[in-house]
Structure 1
Amino acid sequence: MTQGTFPDHFSGVADAYAAARPEYPDALFDALAAVVPADATVWEPGCGSGQATRGLAARFAHVHATDPSAEQVAWHWAHGDTSGRVTVSVEPGERTPLADGSVGLVAVAQALHWFDRPRFFAECERVLAPGGVLAAWGYPDFLPPESMADAVAAYRAQIEPHWPPERVEVDSHYAGYDWPFAALPAPSLWLEAEWSLPRFLRYLSSSSASARCRAATGDDPVARHAAALSAAWGDTDEARTITWPLFLHLRRKA
């Protein structure tokens, strides 16, 4: 997909996305470091505002973080980084100027379902060095605290028709993809956040389905359900645990 024609569900909420997305656990990056040497160059296509870049940069020599959305890239935290370990560029997920065989790890966080996969996998074949690894991960919808199940269900019922069709691929953990390389063992992981109610509501507002619902109907689903969500939460400043199942695919080039 060329820049400007990609499925862009996040440029309009780029600031909210940067502020509200959860952080990935150290266990995820430790799993990558177990199969890729620390001196590797990493290509991170679909980087968004950098939720995964920090963990990658802490473990590998250099990260080339790219995204087709200039708005998302503008919010990437690495613009203020002085270490030189991260470069950030507006590029499509299916093409990068990185040299042939120059990359030890291609790391895709919650983005592979947006790519033209045959073109992307061909680009991975080109840029990965022999023995290099393609890692792709994501997380389906969160598991709410038990006391909030009814309030969250009502919110989800409103946004359900507005999920992009690619959401099904995340819910299925990328089952059925025609992967280009042999699989490596990957651990089962969880993503966990301790959030106050305002942070949780910002997260809901940052979802593509919420944004599409607002645009299509003029009705903000988070605002509509905020009172019920707040009542179920209790003390708005009290931290609650929100969890997501986190799936990881690891594939090594021969």
Structure 2
Amino acid sequence: MTDNLFQRGQHYQQFRPSYPDTLFEWLSAQSPTTDIAVDVGCGSGQASRGLEPHFKQVIGTDISFRQLQAAPTSAAVFIASQAHQLPLADACVDLITVAQAFHWFDQTAFFSEAERILKPGGVMALVSYGLCDVKGLEGKVRAFHDGALGPWWPAERADVLAGHPHAQLHWPTLPFAQTTIKREWSVEAFIGYLDTWSALVRAARAGKHPLAPFSEELRKQWGPNTRTVHWPLRVRAWRKPGAQ
């Protein structure tokens, strides 16, 4: 497991599951116009690229310049910035997305900044996916996640997996029908995905490498073919009060 942020960004590009286009279609349909979308905590830009076909301008922001460097060539503009100090004008943005990053933020300060830059009627969406499962190997990922990796997850991890149920923004909510991300993966692709988990970085810093024995176990049980991997996709979305 590498602790180099540029390499981690490249691994995210290669191994993290992309979001379904139906998500971005829904987000654009909720937005007052489709002029500007901002993807905050964008990492190497997975969600930013998904937004590109649906908005005239997409801006991805992240505190890590090294993560941004790993983003492939894209129509989006990438800016190194803290989530609560965005270099954008007041009331200029139609949509703000945060995909798998909200737990890293100063959440009160971020919501205040989001209120500042969103247009009246603009949309704020927290996007996350829960813990995956593998067809035919049900429960194995959960056992590894909660067992060998359990001590290395931050406390906020449970909130991510649950879809940020405790996030509070006193605006009207926008209901999103839960759906599933599905991929057909080889065992090596799946191990590559597991290797992007942040808990492994924390474990490696302490001289622990729990992925190695679990990878060998997976290789023995997976077989030569691909298997279906699925994640529950969750969205919490709100609309800023005001005219659309």
Q: TM-score, normalised by structure 1?
A: 0.87
Q: Which residue of 1 aligns with 2:176?
A: 186
Give, in whole Å, the separation in 1 of the partners of 2:192 and 2:50: 23
Map of 2:50 onto structure 1:
55
Answer yes or no: is the 8 Å Cα contact 1:44–1:64 preserved in 2. Answer: yes
CA distance in 1, matches of 2:34, 2:116: 19
Query: 3-state SS of the aligned residue for 1:53?
Result: helix
Q: Which residue in 2 is equivalent to 1:123?
A: 113
Counterpart code for 2:127: W
> Which residue among 203, 228, 231 is the counterpart of 2:220?
231
Contact 1:139 1:246 in 2 (8 A): yes
The equivalent of 1:72 in structure 2 is: 67
The answer to whether the 8 Å contact 2:125/2:237 transfers is yes
1:153 aligns with 2:140: no
CA gap 1:60/1:151 in 2 versus in 1, 3 angstroms: closer
Amino acid at match of 2:180: W
Aligned to 1:101: 91
Matched, 1:200 2:190: yes
Aligned-residue offset at 1:176: 2.0
CA distance in 2, matches of 1:203, 1:248: 22
Equivalents in 1 of 2:239, 2:142: separation in Å?
A: 39
- Please list every run of 5 or more consecutive structure 2 residues that lacks an aligned counterpart in the other structure: none
Task: Kindly state the Cα deviation for residue 37 of structure 1 after the two structures are TM-superposed.
Answer: 5.0
Q: Which residue does 2:210 correspond to in 1? A: 221
**Structure-2 separation of matches of 1:206 and 1:138:** 15
Corresponding residue SS for 1:52: helix
Distance 1:149 1:172 in 2: 17
The CA deviation at 1:165 is: 1.3
**CA distance in structure 2 between the aligned counterparts of 1:37 and 1:101, rounded to whole angstroms:** 12
Residue pair 1:106, 1:134 contacting (<8 A) in 2 also: yes
Instruction: Report percent identity of matched pairs.
Output: 36
Report deviation, 1:160.
1.0
Q: Distance in 1 between matches of 2:43 and 2:32?
A: 25
User: Number of matched residues?
Assistant: 238
Q: Do 1:104 and 1:133's aligned partners in 2 also have CA atoms closer than 8 Å?
A: yes
Residue 166 of structure 2 corresponds to which residue in structure 1?
176
1:20 is aligned to 15
